Amino acid sequence: MGISLENIEPKDQIDPDLTCLLCDKISEKPKVCQSCPKVFCLPCFRIEVANNDNKCPNCKIHINYDNVSYLKSPPKEWFEKTNELTIKCEDCSEAILQYSNYEEHRINCQGRLSSIDEILAPVREAANEATRRFD
């Protein structure tokens, strides 16, 4: 669920400690279990904990799945290392950005929004047609 390593530059600076233990991508919405130092993507961690008897996939400590306080942000150094990398957006080939700007870019990315519009176009057309029938 993280950011594909194919979209990261420079490749020789990708530290394994920056990747999610579960998806082996740069952690997106990174979190660290309170009991171990390994970084996970928040969605990966939640899915794995729910499917693994509520245990951390790394240290196996029992996790209260409903309480997110068992997670914390990675150390400052993690963010410093990720900001040394650049990320090519999966949806618009033109955007090269730092990790710290990635999430905001994804929200506003015109390439991504165009893709969503293409997917929703038939749904909108069907809704409009149904509305016309009842008018």
Residue after which a domain boundary falls, among 69, 87, 105: 87
Q: What is the CATH number of the domain that holds 25?
A: 3.30.40.10
Residue 64 sits in the same domain as residue 38: yes
Gap between the Cα atoms of 120 and 12, Å rounded: 39
- Picking from 111, 67, 66, the residue whose alpha carbon sits closest to that of residue 88 is 111
Examine the domain organization and report whether 34 and 77 are in the same domain.
yes
Same-domain pairing of 122 and 65: no
Tokens of 112: 């991504």
pLDDT, position 135: 64
> Is there a single domain that holds both residue 68 and residue 34?
yes
Residue 75 and residue 94 in one domain: no
Q: Residue 28: give the domain boundaries.
A: 1-87
How many helices (DSSP H) and strands (DSSP E) are in the chain? Answer: 4, 6
**Overall domain count for the chain:** 2
Residue 27 CA to residue 82 CA, distance in Å, equals 10
Whether residue 113 is found in the same domain as residue 99 = yes
Q: Are residues 37 and 58 in the same domain?
A: yes
Supply the pLDDT for residue 67: 56
Co-location of 76 and 105 in the same domain:
no
The closest of 116, 115, 109, 113 to 94, measured between CA atoms, is: 109
50 plus 24 within the same structural domain: yes
Does 2 share its domain with 61?
Answer: yes
The model's pTM? 0.70
**C-alpha closest to that of 74 among 42, 43, 30, 22:** 30
Tokens of 11: 């490749």
Separation between Cα atoms, residue 70 and residue 92, nearest integer Å = 36
Q: Return the pLDDT at 7.
A: 87
Q: What is the mean pLDDT of each run of 10 residues along the chain (135 residues)?
A: 86 88 91 87 88 87 69 90 87 77 83 65 71 71
